[in-house]
Amino acid sequence: MPTISDHPQRYNVVNELHARPFPSLNVPCHAVYVAIKEPKDAQNRDRSLDRAHLLDLLDRHGSAHPQPEATHFSGAIGRHELKWESHTEFVTYSAFGKGVSDRPFDPAEAEVFPEDWLAVANGKRLCSLLIRVEEMPENEAEILARLEEWFVPESLASSRVLDGAAIIAGDFRIDPAGHMRFAVFVRPGTGARRVGRIVQRLCEIETYRSMSMLGLMRSRHLTQRLNGLDPKLSGLVEALDKTDRSPETALHELLEISAELESLSVQFTFRFGATAAYEAIVENRIGVLRETRLNGRQTFAEFMMRRYDPAMRTVKSTEKRLLSMAERAQRAAELLRTRVDVERSAQNQTLLESMDRRADLQLRLQRTVEGLSVVAISYYAVNLAAYLVYPLAEAAGVSKGMATALLTPPVLLAVWLLIRRIRDRLH
């Protein structure tokens, strides 16, 4: 009995749901995290270079290689567990080790990713995190004392997460060794997978926050260019009703502005769209932590509201301004087109009036010519008729001159009637 065939992507779609599992971490432990991104928007970057960089690290430890087309990998590198993920614009490396150092956030922990290996990465370092995970002390004052010692109080954010399962803290500052630091205090009895989810969420929050902040840097550059175009566009719109400027000149200037706005839209559309997506991920990752306040300190959500949300609003405002200016340029083009159509209609009206005058003059000339034609044709007709009646006139005793004079009126009348009949039939 024949069976139904599977869609070619059925298994790939299902496997994607399980492509990036959370790590399983036992307390105490530490994590070293690095995100590497190419300087430019690299939607279509060469992923083979990222893979080659990963294989270089694995070969240093004699570790197994991932599948050829894999976008994620987990394996051991020495005393650490490595997790590698390839995303649209960046790649991430996470190393998880057992235990914590005597010196909190010891830069030596980051040596799991050698400096010479990082120097040849396909891109630049965007994030570098050190995460210290230890068991939660019974005395909350001890936790607060450690946080005061480890972090900058002015920007410190801390909170209880996942219904009190852990306390997370960080100041979102880069230390002298070039790393950002986070502390996680886990309540005894918390599962290893839940600890892994907390650590993973912290890495994702910082990564996507950094990626979305790239939109702010780009929006500042865009704002400078828009500040130069805005007065030109406004001046062009204000001058549309002035008659001292030709539409061709205004059209040329408008085309230059519209072309530059379209170019800016092409350059920045991807970054603005990516920024909005990353912002949504940051808000989602903070939301799933289910934060509650720790001893009156600001939470991660409050920190983002004060420091991060204004930046995102700036990006959105700049994007709206770009779209608004593009719409203004389009409306200006429509107004200019209307002005050109009105002027063209006026020119056509003038041309029609000129043609009417020419036709009237031509008609008058035609009638004048018709009058002269009657005279000329009548002259020849009278002469011809005279030749016919001369013999009869001599027999009747009428002189030649008298015969010609008698013939002239009826011939003139006949010629005039004939020409008029021909003209009436033509018209």
Query: What's the DSSP call for residue 76?
Result: E
SS3 246: coil
Mean predicted confidence (pLDDT) in 101-119: 94
Question: For residue 42, what pLDDT is reported?
Answer: 56
Question: For residue 148, what pLDDT is reported?
Answer: 93
Query: What's the DSSP call for residue 39?
Result: S
CA distance 289 to 238: 53
CA distance 390 to 63: 136
- Give the pLDDT confidence of 398-409 residue by residue, as tens digits: 776 777 777 778
Can you read off the two tokens belonging to residue 28? 């105490």
Question: For residue 251, what pLDDT is reported?
Answer: 78
- Give the pLDDT confidence of 367-381 residue by residue, as tens digits: 666 666 767 777 777
Mean pLDDT of the chain: 87
- Give the pLDDT confidence of 256-267 residue by residue, as tens digits: 888 899 899 988
Mean predicted confidence (pLDDT) in 65-74: 87
- State which amino acid sits at residue 152: V
- Give the pLDDT confidence of 326-353 residue by residue, as tens digits: 988 888 888 777 777 777 777 788 888 8
CA distance 316 to 321: 9
Listed residue (85, 52, 60, 55) closest to 70, CA to CA: 85
Question: For residue 369, what pLDDT is reported?
Answer: 66
Whether pTM exceeds 0.85 = no
